[in-house]
Amino acid sequence: MTIKMFGYNSTEEYYKDASCLRLIDRIHTPLLCINAIDDPFVDPDAFPTFTNGKFAKGPHASSSVILMSTKYGGHVAWLAEDQSLLFCERSWVDDICVRFVQLVLRHGTNKQ
């Protein structure tokens, strides 16, 4: 439906246009990307493989980009250990993001 609505000829064309990989080497502001391997909406094969400062396929990543994968978490549902889905006030990912921002503020950025 999205492909037809926005005039793409194929799913491959849509995903290539929507992907950040063609721009990721230009990122100079600290960026934390977190995904869960058990996310029901995203195929784990779509997650980039990152080793020694470059992706297995595609461009070099900026040193400002941190990729983080967790085995569990579903689709944006990283609950803290002491939380249930029904009464969730915070999640594990909330804590990680706050820590990341604190570190960036404390240590600055590597803007080029």
What is residue 83's predicted lDDT score, i.e. its pLDDT? 52
Judging by DSSP bridges, how do beta strands 50-51 and 54-55 pair with one another?
antiparallel
Tokens linked to 12: 């491959």
- CB count within 10 Å of CB 73 equals 19
- Kindly list the distances between the CA atom of residue 82 and the CA atoms of 41, 57, 87, 89, 97, in Å, as whole numbers in the listed order: 26, 39, 10, 10, 18
Phi/psi at 7 (nearest 5 deg)?
80, 20
- CB count within 10 Å of CB 43 equals 8
Phi/psi at 36 (nearest 5 deg)?
-105, 135
Amino acid found at 12: E
Q: What is the mean pLDDT for each group of 10 consecutive residues in the chain (112 residues)?
A: 86 84 83 85 71 58 79 70 58 86 85 52
pTM (2 d.p.):
0.66
Q: How far apart (Å, rounded) are the C-alpha atoms in residues 9 and 104?
A: 41
